[in-house]
């Protein structure tokens, strides 16, 4: 007998897939929100394709954030790299506090409309949680464990790869999870500069004063964020199960 949480997850996934693949079946639900014979379901593009490219944009940006943030996190926790910590922190904080909309506005003249400005905005926005969690994860490895690793003859690289990173992994994953969820929402802004994504539905709704569209775009994005959050959390739990890291 599956647990209630599992049933809830499967139901959410089923609902999202059903809506993306056969949105017309949901017309009666959204019809009361429309006025003056406006279409109740978004009809200017394929919802499933929009959702896929939305997800792809977020995943690509997040992969880039992860690579850079983890590399920076490793660098500033090495003996020779500690002096770079304030600088690195300033850079990733800037990425987080500089509004993504402003990044888009600045990037469009340089890169043109489309996916690229969005990727850059999401990349910058996603750095901070991953970087901070990587730093904390690497710094909180128990001193006795690190000393044992060196005492047994691991080189600095071996110690990093086979002890420090595995021990920091749950925290790093948590950072990635936070970054992913933030960016699923933030990516809707990309549609203002013609990136393909669920933001298109929301913007179309705003332009034509159609609440049904806005709600569809918002709900689909939200469901996707919740499911993704849950999936990464499941991976984290698997890691925790094999080795309890106190």
Query: Which residues would be at the binding site for another protein (CB under 8 A)?
Result: 142, 144-155, 158, 163, 166-167, 242-246
CA separation (Å) from 101 to 86, 109, 122, 190?
Answer: 26, 14, 10, 8
* Residue 186 Cβ vs another protein, minimum distance, rounded to whole Å: 33
Between 3 and 238, CB nearer to another protein: 238
CB 118 within 8 A of CB 126: no
* Residue 244 Cβ vs another protein, minimum distance, rounded to whole Å: 5
Between helices 47-77 and 165-186, what is the axis angle to 10°?
Answer: 140
* Residue 165 Cβ vs another protein, minimum distance, rounded to whole Å: 10
Between 149 and 228, CB nearer to another protein: 149
Residue 53's contacts (CB-CB under 8 Å, 6 or more residues apart) are: 195, 196, 197
Between 91 and 245, CB nearer to another protein: 245
Between 44 and 140, CB nearer to another protein: 140
Give dist(CA 187, CA 185) in Å, integer. 5
* Residue 74 Cβ vs another protein, minimum distance, rounded to whole Å: 18
């Amino acid at each position: 007998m599956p647990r209630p949480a599992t049933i809830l997850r499967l139901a959410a996934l089923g609902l999202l897939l059903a809506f993306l693949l056969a949105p017309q079946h949901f017309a009666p639900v959204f019809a009361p929100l429309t006025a003056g014979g406006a279409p109740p379901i978004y009809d200017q593009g394929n919802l499933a394709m929009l959702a896929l490219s939305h997800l792809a944009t977020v995943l690509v940006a997040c992969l880039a954030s992860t690579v850079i943030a983890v590399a920076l996190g490793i660098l500033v926790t090495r003996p020779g790299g500690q002096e770079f910590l304030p600088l690195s922190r300033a850079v990733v904080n800037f990425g987080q506090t500089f509004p993504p909309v402003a990044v888009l506005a600045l990037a469009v003249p340089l890169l043109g409309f489309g996916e690229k400005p969005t990727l850059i905005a999401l990349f910058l926005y996603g750095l901070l949680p991953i970087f901070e969690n990587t730093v904390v994860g690497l710094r909180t490895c128990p001193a006795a464990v690190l000393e044992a690793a060196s005492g047994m003859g691991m080189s600095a690289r071996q110690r990093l790869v086979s002890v420090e990173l595995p021990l920091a992994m749950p925290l790093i994953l948590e950072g990635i999870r936070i970054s992913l969820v933030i960016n699923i929402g933030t990516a809707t802004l990309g549609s203002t500069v013609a990136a393909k994504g669920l933001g298109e539905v929301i913007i179309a709704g705003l332009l034509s004063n159609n609440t049904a569209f806005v709600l569809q775009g918002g709900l689909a994005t939200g469901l996707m964020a919740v499911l993704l959050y849950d999936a990464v959390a499941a991976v984290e739990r698997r890691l925790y199960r094999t080795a309890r890291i106190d």
